[in-house]
Amino acid sequence: MLTPGQQAPDFKLFNTNKKEVSLQDFRGKNLIILFFPMAFTSVCTAELCEMRDNISTYADLNAEVVGISVDSPFTLAKFKEDQKLPFDLLSDFNKEVSQAYDTYYETFALNLKGVSKRSAFVIDGDGVIQYAEVLDNAGDVPSFQAIQKTLAKR
């Protein structure tokens, strides 16, 4: 399990515009990574819309936000459009990043194999994890208050 103080695993994933996005793109900024199980599900929608509705709070804390799931870039593009999300959604279709961050269900609901666990990471501008929360229950959401508190200390 990844913990604060560790270097965050690097990644390079496609966003909804089919552009590669990597951890290196966020050097010098705080980054909030939200792994989520599946687009268009009720808890995932509520979680990402919570971030959308408070995006100015995170911008004021010098933080960018990305959401990552194993959905295809095309599914994520429709989800982003429908929910008017002002941040990148990245496709971990090959499941490598979810596994690298140890936020991965081997078997999820409906016997679906290889789905991202709901989790939140705050990574500082040097690529070091400052906050990590991996939830085993997909019905729970990360502590937005703890994320904001972590960022306020930066």
Is 7 part of a structural domain of the chain?
Answer: no
pLDDT at 71: 97
Q: How confident is the model at residue 94, as a pLDDT?
A: 97
Cβ-contact 130, 123 below 8 angstroms: yes
Judge whether 44 counts as a catalytic residue.
Answer: yes
Pair of tokens at residue 32: 């909030």
CATH number (domain holding residue 44): 3.40.30.10
Residue 21 counted as domain residue: no
Q: Is residue 12 situated within a structural domain?
A: no
Give pLDDT, residue 63: 97
- Number of structural domains found in the chain: 1
**Could you state, in chain order, the average pLDDT of each consecutive group of 10 residues for the chain (154 residues)?**
96 98 96 97 96 97 97 98 98 97 90 92 98 95 97 89
Beta strands per DSSP E along 101-149: 104-107, 113-116, 119-123, 129-134
Catalytic residue among 33, 44, 51, 151: 44
